[in-house]
Amino acid sequence: MNDAELLAEIERLARNEGFEVAGAIPLSLMDDQRLDRWLEQGFAGEMAYMAKYRDQRCEPEKHFPPFQSVVSFILPYDTTEPSSASEIGNIARYALGDDYHEVIKKRLFRVLDSLKLADPTIEARACVDTAPILEKVAAERSGVGWQGKHSNIIREGRGSWFFLAEILINRNLETKESSTNRCGICDDCIQACPTGAITSPYVVDSRLCIYYLTIELRGLIPRELRSMIGNRIFGCDDCQEVCPWNRLAALPALEEFVPRDGLRSTTLSQWMDQDIESWRLTFRRSAVKRTKFHGFKRNVAVAMGNHKSPSNLPSIRRALGVEPALVRAHLIWALRKMGCQESLELLSQWRKKECDAMVLAEFHGDLDSPLESR
């Protein structure tokens, strides 16, 4: 097969697996300086792996032999609306079904197997977002879509409710179409961001992003940001929900991405009362497991504080007796945030028992400190 025939065959095989679009670009055209500027500003927060694998991301042609090109795909996920009830913990749409890493790789592996049967000289590697590849750069420069002001890739007629996936291959492939940025003067995503994480068009300070705070961050969520998180317990979709291009998108999702039972109806108290075995069963083969059990409970505690309902007090009382300091610290904040007679009484009772310095610090200080410049 010549290059054009190979790319057409890759796209045919990918579409059979549910993927849409196949844009290709040589690895030699992947150099991008925006990552360096982003890292220099400290926007990666605790995501040290972004700097650790900087060279692979910015100079992939030197670090991924024998591969010469990257082929990008999109795979839509379910767009079920979140519950409007504040007592329901909101999980980002992409994580409502099965773990996309497993789903995507399984399907890409089948594409690769078929390619190698057709041509044994082909060498290829399947990638999802765990590989050190600037996948948004690859998608944009190969014509898959343009990078919106919220930093996600948008495709006309498809919006941004999709995953990106890639194949590295030992062929020099390139699509000729390019993406035109069609965000125009719209800045709805910037205005909608609860924490102001989109510091300028196309630039996101991860340290302020609710995705980072509820998933990537392992320790205390900064006190000044907790009230802005609302009832979001895993990720955030706000910037995509307001995007006009998503109002025009109609994307059928794979069966694996259909929301699991209960994820749009479980209350904050029910989440807090789950033991680790029940939680593992609920999120078996789910992307939600990335936040870890106690990170998830931390997020629920913050949502309880924002909900301010005394109905959560029995659950909080039980959790204070069994959860580690990380979770207890946020539960103390939640009790202070409620500010009702019952929560203040529980605070007083627990203050006599608590010994951990991190938790004790939550009994003092401003509940909503001004957001400091970073």
HEC secondary structure over 11-53: HHHHHHCCCEEEEEEEHHHCCCCHHHHHHHCCCCCCCCHHHHC
My answer on whether omega of the bond before 244 falls inside 30° of 0, hence cis, is: no
pTM assigned to the model: 0.95
- The per-residue pLDDT of the chain, averaged, comes to 93
**Structure token digits, residue 53:** 């694998």
Mean pLDDT, rounded, for 280-285: 97
pLDDT tens digits, residue range 103-145?
A: 999 999 999 999 999 999 999 999 998 889 999 999 999 999 9
CA distance 295 to 116: 42
Which one of the listed residues 31, 32, 129, 273 is annotated catalytic? 129
pLDDT tens digits, residue range 21-52?
A: 779 999 999 988 899 999 999 999 999 999 99
Mean pLDDT, rounded, for 249-267: 87
Whether 205 sits among the annotated catalytic residues: the reply is no
Under CATH, which architecture does the 3-81+97-169 domain have?
A: 3-Layer(aba) Sandwich (3.40)
CA distance 333 to 367: 7
Only one residue has tokens 């939640």, namely 334
- Rg of the chain over CA atoms, in angstroms? 22
List, in sequence order, every residue forming a beta bridge with 154; answer none if it has no partner.
146
pLDDT of residue 369: 62
**Domain residue spans in the chain?**
3-81+97-169, 188-243+259-363
